[in-house]
Each structure stands twice: as C-alpha cells, then as structure tokens.
C-alpha cells in the first residue's frame, strides 16, 4: 500500500463539496498531546527510519512500514498493553490518517483476522492487534539497532542532546532481561543516547565494561568525538582498562564510586584514620519524586593514588607518564546504614575540591529517578512486554526509548518549535478564525479546515445562529 499524504487545498475541497462529492473522512481538530507527539516523532525522523526496516515477510498483507509506524505510536498512549493501546489508537481516526492509514482501511479494515460480521470485526479495524504483534516479531535485532542509531542521530543533528555529562547504568526487567543505557544527564531532562538489552539471569557477568565501551563508541560516532566530557558510572560498569581507554584514547574523564572491598577504598579509609585527610562539612538538598530533604556530609580528597593496578598498567600502555587517580572520601552524617556511612569516589580527573566532585556525581541519579523509574512506572516497560520472545522485547525496548526521547524533546522549548511543523499544530493555527470546533474535510488528495457553519452551508443547511465573529461568519448564498 502506498502512503498517501493529503495536501491543504481549501478551494479544491469547497469545489468538490459544491459538486456533491462525498468526503473520504471528516474529523474534528480537537488536538490532543498524542497528535503533537506523533507529529514530532515524524519530524525527528523516527518514521523514516522505520520505513527502511527490512522484515522477514512471508505473505502479502498490510505494509510493514505502516504497521511499524502504528506500533511506534502506541507507547504515547495511556494503556500499557499492546491490545489496550491499539484499541485506544484505533479510536483516533485523525492520528491514523497521519500515520498513513487510508479512510477505507479505517472504515472496513485491511486484514483477514475476524473479518466476519458475526465475530470480532470491531477489533479488526483498521487491523487486529495480533497483526501488529506479528509485524514486531518480523524485525531482527540488528534492524532495531539501526533504528536506534537513526533516531538518536537526529537528536544530535538538531542539537537536542544538550551538555557533555553522561551516565551509564542498568536495570532489570524481570528475571530474564536487563536494560543498560547511556544517558545524557546534563540538561533538566535526561536523554537516552544508546542502549542494549541483555538476556539471562547473569546477563552482565563479565560483560559490564564491554557494554560500556560499546555504548560510548556509539555515542561518540553519532554525536562527535567531543560529545562526552564526563562519564558517571557504578563500579559494575567500570574497570581499570576501561578508565584508561576513556581517559587516554577519548579524553573522557570518569567518576566512579569504589566498593568497600577494593584496595583504593581501604587506602582512603587508612589515610582518614591516620589524620592525613582534611575534611570539610557540606550540606545539600536532595529531591526524590518531588520530596526534598536536606542532608549533610563530610568530604575529603587525595590525589596521586596508584593502587588501582589494572588502570595504571593500561594507562602506561597508552603512553601515559606517571598515571594516577584522584579519590574523594564522603562521610554520610545523616545515614543510619553503617555500610553506607563511608564511600569513595574515584576519578581520572583531579578535581579542585571534593565538594565539586560530589556535586558533579549527583546528576547520575537522573538515570534512576527520571529515566528508569519513568520507563517502568510511567511507560510500563517491565510489566507490559507485548510478547514473550526476545525478538519482541528488542522491538518494544527500542520503540519505548525512542518515544521517551521524543517526549523529553516535546517538553522543551526546542521541541515545541519543532512540533509546530506537525499537521496538528498547522490545523490548530486556524482555531481562532474558525471557532471552537472546526472540522477537517478529506476529499481525494486534499484537505481543508472549515468551521462547522461553513460546512453546513456548503451542504445546504446553514444554521440560523453562529458563534463566529460577524466578519468571519459565512455569507448565505
């Protein structure tokens, strides 16, 4: 099926109505957020990337590009399940038309699932949710990686990924999957620039640093060699060779909390017990889910540490002369957990003060509070998987992450300007002149936005009263 776009041509539509032609479709312009999000999704190139996805199709049917565009819209809807979101979307003909569904498909359906009038025809308009699920299964993992790269590349090209501070972390999706993501945490709202879905209960064992390197390489390729200045990560995702590679191969500094069983952690505690560290008190406010709480810590720092042997060796292999690490010791004064009372931050950068390093590490919490928590609780990423097989999971993750980024852009000023080019914003620009409830008429390949009064006049039923201003009311023939 060819994708047909309607063009705005009010004279053509009025002339066709005057000749007695029946419209293909009539919808109102009551704009919702999902309309603008779909328009922004298109402006950011997500639909173009999906149209290029190769699939393993073995039979004729609805175009896979159309099905994938429809699937990409489902995460924006309130319903988390595939069937629930599809049912909600299928009740929005204006959005379906924008995705490429024809009026005939919307009215009669375009697949052979439950087409008999005595069965479940309503659920098959324009297609059955199982048809969408089948399309998702036909896409290979590599194709989703290509879509991921294309979607993130558009954000970098439009300079919508702001700042050079990034964080990497993982979160479990049940017992079988783990999502590892590289997130830009510099701006007010995080942006996911690269992600991988790992499978199995021990999905990351022995692979943590490899995954980190892979994600960083992808981000540098898409955003440029200077895209990342500082990388925040847990010790699970860092090892000595990785830190040396970041510092001396790509000039990226790292800030990593050190577990209590590491030699570097013991060295800092020994320096503190020997009175060789100078502590200073620092107070800050931490906000979690809208709740603010003031906390107090004591901090101290030491430069020139060489007890992380794997880092020193790898740095020497890169040609570094006298490589060393900076470390900060943080004492949680308000913590009731004895194990969390002392912790150490290690860095390849020599920070001017331990408070500066501590404040630089704080944005890492965005990846947990504003990214993973939102993906699980707000987007249903863990509870609503759309299927059981791993192929479906890779597609579900890709579509949700792309929709998450589009939503983050939508909430920014730049995103609002880009969304203004979408068809919904174009129609809403006529709202003031056309009254509170204009309608969109589709005939042939043209559409027009008309006030209800003018539409009734063209159809031979001019109302006796109108809410339009006098100078904008349609004149009787």
Give the model's pLDDT for residue 437. 55
* C-alpha distances out from residue 377 to 78, 182, 369, 374, 400, Å: 12, 20, 11, 5, 13
Pair type for strands 342-347 and 165-173: unpaired
pLDDT in tens, 45-95: 999 999 999 876 656 678 888 999 999 999 998 888 888 888 888 877 767
Give the model's pLDDT for residue 455. 77
The residues pairing with 184 across neighbouring beta strands, listed in sequence order, are: 166, 191
Q: Is pLDDT of 233 > 80?
A: yes
CA count, 13 A, side-chain hemisphere, 15: 6
Of the pLDDT bands very low, low, confident and very high (cuts 50, 70, 90), residue 285 is confident
The residues pairing with 442 across neighbouring beta strands, listed in sequence order, are: 25, 447
Measure the CA–CA gap between 280 and 384, rounded to whole angstroms: 47
pLDDT in tens, 464-477: 665 554 444 555 55
Alpha helices (H) along 299-383: 309-317, 354-361, 365-366, 373
Measure the CA–CA gap between 100 and 69, rounded to whole angstroms: 9
Measure the CA–CA gap between 72 and 402, rounded to whole angstroms: 8
Task: Report the percentage of the chain scoring pLDDT > 70.
Answer: 79
Give the model's pLDDT for residue 472. 47
Q: What is the mean pLDDT of residues 347-356?
A: 93
Give the model's pLDDT for residue 435. 45
Biggest alpha carbon distance in the chain?
97
Q: Is pLDDT of 412 > 90?
A: no
Helix (H) or strand (E) holding 327: strand 325-332
Contacts 24+ apart (CB under 8 A), 13-17: 13/441, 13/443, 13/446, 13/447, 13/448, 13/450, 14/448, 14/450, 14/458, 16/443, 16/444, 16/446, 17/441, 17/443, 17/455, 17/458, 17/459
Of the pLDDT bands very low, low, confident and very high (cuts 50, 70, 90), residue 213 is very high
Q: Is pLDDT of 35 > 60?
A: yes
* C-alpha distances out from residue 193 to 279, 393, 405, Å: 37, 19, 9
- Kindly list the structural domains of the chain, giving each domain's residue range(s) and its CATH number in brackets, ordered by start: 30-140+388-423 (no CATH), 161-378 (3.90.350.10)
Q: What is the dihedral of CA 455, 460, 463, 467, to 10 degrees?
A: 20
pTM of the model: 0.80
Q: Is pLDDT of 384 > 70?
A: yes
* C-alpha distances out from residue 82 to 79, 130, 141, 334, 387, Å: 8, 9, 20, 45, 9
Give the model's pLDDT for residue 432. 41
Helix (H) or strand (E) holding 47: helix 46-51
Give the model's pLDDT for residue 436. 47
Q: Are 126 and 105 in contact (CB under 8 A)?
A: yes
Give the model's pLDDT for residue 81. 87
Cis peptide before 126 (omega within 30 of 0): yes
* C-alpha distances out from residue 316 to 90, 159, 240, 311, Å: 61, 36, 12, 8
pLDDT in tens, 103-156: 677 767 776 554 454 444 555 678 888 889 988 999 999 999 999 999 999 999
Q: Which tokens is 67 given?
A: 């099905």
Q: Which residues contact 420 (CB under 8 A, 6 or more apart)?
A: none
Give the model's pLDDT for residue 332. 82
């Amino acid at each position: 099926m060819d994708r047909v776009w309607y063009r705005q041509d009010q004279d053509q539509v009025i002339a066709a109505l005057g000749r007695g032609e029946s419209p293909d479709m009539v919808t109102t312009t009551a704009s919702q957020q999902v309309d603008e999000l779909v328009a922004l999704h298109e402006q950011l190139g997500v639909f173009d990337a999906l149209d290029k996805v190769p699939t393993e199709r073995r039979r004729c049917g609805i175009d896979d590009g159309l099905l994938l565009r429809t699937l990409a819209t489902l995460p924006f809807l309130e319903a988390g399940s595939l069937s629930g979101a599809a049912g909600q979307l299928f009740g929005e003909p204006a959005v379906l038309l924008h995705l490429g569904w024809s009026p005939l498909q919307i009215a009669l359906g375009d697949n052979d699932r439950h087409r008999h009038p005595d069965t479940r025809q309503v659920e098959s308009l324009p297609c059955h949710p199982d048809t969408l699920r089948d399309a998702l299964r036909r896409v290979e993992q590599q194709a989703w990686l290509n879509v991921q790269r294309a979607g993130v590349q558009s954000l970098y090209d439009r300079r919508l990924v702001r700042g050079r501070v990034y964080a990497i972390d993982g979160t479990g999706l049940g017992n079988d999957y783990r999502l590892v993501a590289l997130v830009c945490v510099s701006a007010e709202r995080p942006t996911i620039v690269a992600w991988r879905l790992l499978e199995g209960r021990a999905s990351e064992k022995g692979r943590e640093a490899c995954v980190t390197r892979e994600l960083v390489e992808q981000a540098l390729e898409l955003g440029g060699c200077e895209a990342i200045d500082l990388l925040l990560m847990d010790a699970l995702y860092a090892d000595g060779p990785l830190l040396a590679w970041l510092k001396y191969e790509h000039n990226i500094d790292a800030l990593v909390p050190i577990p209590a069983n590491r030699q570097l952690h013991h060295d800092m505690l020994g320096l503190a017990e020997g009175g060789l560290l100078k502590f200073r008190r620092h107070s800050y406010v931490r906000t979690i889910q809208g709740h603010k709480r003031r906390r107090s810590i004591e901090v101290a720092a030491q430069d020139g540490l060489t007890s992380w042997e794997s880092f020193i060796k790898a740095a020497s292999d890169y040609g570094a002369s006298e490589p060393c690490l900076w470390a900060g010791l943080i004492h949680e004064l308000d913590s009731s957990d004895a194990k969390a009372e002392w912790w150490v931050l290690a860095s390849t950068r020599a920070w001017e003060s331990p408070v500066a390093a501590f404040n630089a590490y704080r944005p890492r919490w965005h990846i947990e509070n504003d990214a993973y928590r939102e993906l699980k609780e707000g987007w249903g990423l863990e509870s609503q998987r759309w299927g059981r097989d791993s192929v479906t999971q890779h597609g579900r993750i890709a579509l949700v992450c792309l929709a998450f980024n589009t939503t983050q852009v939508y909430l920014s000023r730049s995103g609002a300007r880009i969304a203004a080019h979408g068809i919904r914003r174009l129609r809403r620009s006529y709202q003031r002149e056309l009254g509170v409830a204009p309608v969109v008429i589709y005939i042939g390949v043209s559409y027009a936005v008309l006030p209800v009064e003018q539409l009734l006049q063209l159809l031979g039923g001019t109302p006796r009263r109108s809410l339009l201003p006098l100078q904008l009311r349609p004149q009787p023939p």
